[in-house]
Chain A
Amino acid sequence: MQANTEHIGIDTGKPLEQLLEKIADHKGCGTSSDGGKASCGSSDGPADMAPEVWEKVKNHPCYSEEAHHHYARMHVAVAPACNIHCNYCNRKYDCANESRPGVVSEKLTPEQASKKVLAVASAIPQMTVLGIAGPGDPLANPAKTFKTFELIAKTAPDIKLCLSTNGLTLPDHVDTIKAFNVDHVTITINMVDPEVGQHIYPWIFYKNKRYTGIEAARILTERQLLGLEMLTAAGVLAKINSVMIPGINDKHLVEVNRAVKSRGAFLHNIMPLISAPEHGTVFGLNGQRGPSAQELKALQDACEGEMNMMRHCRQCRADAVGLLGEDRSAEFTTEKIDEMSEVVYDAETRKAYQELVESERLEKVAAKEAALAEMSDDEVSDIKILIAVATKGQGRVNEHFGHATEFQIYEMSSAGSKFVGHRRVDLYCQGGFGEEETLPSVVRAINDCHAVFVAKIGGCPRDELKAAGIDPVDRFAHEFIEESAITYFKEYLAKVRSHEVVHEMRGDADIRQGAYISAA
Chain B
Amino acid sequence: MAYKIIASQCTGCSACEPECPNVAIREKNGVFIIDPKKCTECLGHFDEPQCVAVCPVDLTCVIDNAFPRYVAPV
Contact = CB atoms under 8 A, between A and B. Distances in A.
B14 A205 contact: no
Contacts, number: 53
A113 interface: no
Given A81-B14, A82-B13, A140-B15, A205 B57 contact: no
Contacts of B12: 80, 107
A209 B48 contact: yes
B13 A136 contact: yes
A209 B57 contact: no
A232 interface: no
A205 B18 contact: no
Secondary structure of the B contact surface, majority rule: loop
Nearest to B16: A81
B10 to A, nearest CB: 10
Interface string B3-46: 00000000111110111000000000000000000000000001
Secondary structure of the A contact surface, majority rule: loop
A162 to B, nearest CB: 22
Interface string A184-220: 0000000000000000000001001110000000000
A112 to B, nearest CB: 15
A209 B54 contact: no
A343 interface: no
Contacts of B62: none
Given A81-B18, A141-B18, A205 B13 contact: no
A92 B18 contact: no
Given A91-B56, A91-B57, A205-B53, A82 B48 contact: no
A143 interface: yes
Contacts of B14: 79-81, 107, 141
B56 A85 contact: yes
Nearest to B17: A81
B11 A91 contact: yes
Given A80-B12, A82-B13, A143 B18 contact: yes
A205 to B, nearest CB: 4
Contact of B50 (A80, A81, A140, A208): A208
B46 A208 contact: yes
Given A81-B13, A81-B14, A82-B13, A210 B57 contact: no
A210 B53 contact: yes
The interface centre, meaning the residue of B11, B17, B54, B56 with most chain A CB atoms within 10 A of its CB, is B56
Nearest to B53: A210
Interface of A: 79-83, 85, 91-92, 94, 107, 135-136, 140-141, 143, 205, 208-210
21 contacts: A80-B11, A80-B14, A80-B15, A81-B14, A81-B15, A81-B18, A81-B54, A82-B56, A85-B56, A91-B11, A91-B13, A91-B56, A92-B57, A136-B13, A141-B18, A143-B18, A205-B15, A208-B50, A208-B53, A210-B48, A210-B54
Interface of B: 11-15, 17-19, 46-48, 50, 53-54, 56-57
